Chain A
Amino acid sequence: DAEITQSPRHKITETGRQVTLACHQTWNHNNMFWYRQDLGHGLRLIHYSYGVHDTNKGEVSDGYSVSRSNTEDLPLTLESAASSQTSVYFCASSDLAWDTQYFGPGTRLTVL
């Protein structure tokens, strides 16, 4: 069955370190998205991609970057982790950009 996976599931890091969160999907979807979820804010869009070599900034992109070298993967990089980036991060993919998104299980990131 097709799925979307994220790794690691839990990560603790220190302020200033670079961190990369992996997202891999086997749906063969062109569209992929990264969100962060914080109490009281629902899900906020960080970055998204509509296809290979395409990346776009979302609502809360400062301090984050993504790259898309193939259809299956969209890694999220925190260039210099800050305590404000402590959050739960979700990756999602979709066939049509405005249609149903399929979510990964999430990565809980703690920045000390």
Chain B
Amino acid sequence: AQSVTQLDSHVSVSEGTPVLLRCNYSSSYSPSLFWYVQHPNKGLQLLLKYTSAATLVKGINGFEAEFKKSETSFHLTKPSAHMSDAAEYFCVVSEGSARQLTFGSGTQLTVLP
């Protein structure tokens, strides 16, 4: 069975400082992993995905994530936060056998001026 845990429900950073959103997953097989972003009153948008190619995945808007199998983690990072990054972020896991996505409970990112 697949599951995903986002370790922080809220993260607050100052503009221009690094962002780290943490995600651990559980999967019986080689998973696909995703990060989605949701801005207020909007639908979800794909930031990046990992599908067993390079372990460091680059996404849109300067975000990247590293797949670490030994730690079962897929943390999302960005070197320098921008005010427009304020949103909710979801870590998502998928196994081919499950044919479904399982969403984490989300991390609300606040960016302070």
Tell me the A residues contacting B by CB distance below 8 Å.
Answer: 33, 40-45, 48, 50, 58, 90, 92, 97-106
Q: Is the interface of B mostly helix, strand, loop or mixed?
A: strand
Question: If A100-B49, A103-B43, A103-B44 touch, does A40 touch B96 (CB 8 Å cutoff)?
Answer: no
Give Cα A102 to B94, complex, Å. 15
Q: Does B105 contact A (CB under 8 A)?
A: yes
Chain A residues with Cβ below 8 Å from B42 are 105-106
Give Cα A97 to B49, complex, Å. 15
Known: A98-B101, A99-B51. 12 other contacts (CB 8 A): A43-B90, A48-B100, A98-B95, A98-B96, A98-B99, A99-B49, A103-B36, A103-B44, A103-B45, A105-B42, A105-B43, A106-B41
Q: How far is the CB of B45 from chain A (nearest CB, A)?
A: 7
